Structure 1
Amino acid sequence: MLYRSMPRTGDELSILGFGCMRLPLDGEGKIDEHRAASMIRSAIDRGVNYIDTAYPYHGGESEPFVGRALG
């Protein structure tokens, strides 16, 4: 994995990020939390440390889900 050093903090941020705008859905149109958490874990296990999410993703459910998946 390639990383870039953040100038102000020196933190190493992976060049490749994991986007949470289009997570897998279940039969009811909600985030399939088991599959999506597995995908995030797989990315982290491979060195990704940049997870992109925002309030509008999945009708406001992306950020709370990512919090649970990382917690």
Structure 2
Amino acid sequence: MKCATKRGAVPKTIAFAPDRKTFYFTDCRTCVVGVIRYARDSRDPGDLEILGRYSEAEGPDGACIDAEGAI
């Protein structure tokens, strides 16, 4: 998989939505929860949208996606 961001990421959680075009992840390096919408036809990971930030002490340890695609 190509790096999702220009400076690199250290993913701790990766979860794909039911549409198989959207994936969520947490980056241990920058302490963010993000989403990327993947264009399967161009294989372009798209831009990172930051959904939230966390401190190192409270970082997520897993993810779950419901049937509607919400994390």
Q: The TM-score by the shorter chain falls in which range? A: under 0.3
Larger strand percent: 2
Structure-1-length-normalised TM-score: 0.20
Larger helix percent: 1
